[in-house]
Amino acid sequence: MSEANVDLDALQAAYKQAVETWIAAIRDEEALASVAHNIAEIDRWEAAAFREDELRQKVKTAKRAYEDGLRLAHFDF
């Protein structure tokens, strides 16, 4: 396997892992949306929303890195 493929495999794996982590955060946020209507629960729900957004940004960063790697490997730019 070429070094380029190894690099692409690593970028792809990082992207896929970021997506899986993000999906888990979405499910956590969703679960908290279905709890009691008190301030403590609302605070936990809002914290989960911030966490989901942070992880979404990590997914976008990982996706860009993978896309950049693909462009470099296939189109040399």
pLDDT tens-digit profile of 3-61?
778 999 999 999 999 999 999 999 999 999 987 889 999 999 999 999 999 999 999 99
Is the pLDDT at 75 greater than 70, yes or no? yes
Is the pLDDT at 1 greater than 70, yes or no? no
Predicted local distance difference test score (pLDDT) of residue 20: 98
Tell me the C-alpha distance between 75 and 66, whole Å.
Answer: 14
Kindly give the interhelix angle for 3-32 and 39-75, rounded to the nearest 10 degrees: 160
Would you say 8 and 73 are in contact if contact means Cβ atoms under 8 Å apart? Answer: yes
Would you say 52 and 22 are in contact if contact means Cβ atoms under 8 Å apart? Answer: yes
Predicted local distance difference test score (pLDDT) of residue 32: 93
Tell me the C-alpha distance between 43 and 39, whole Å.
Answer: 6
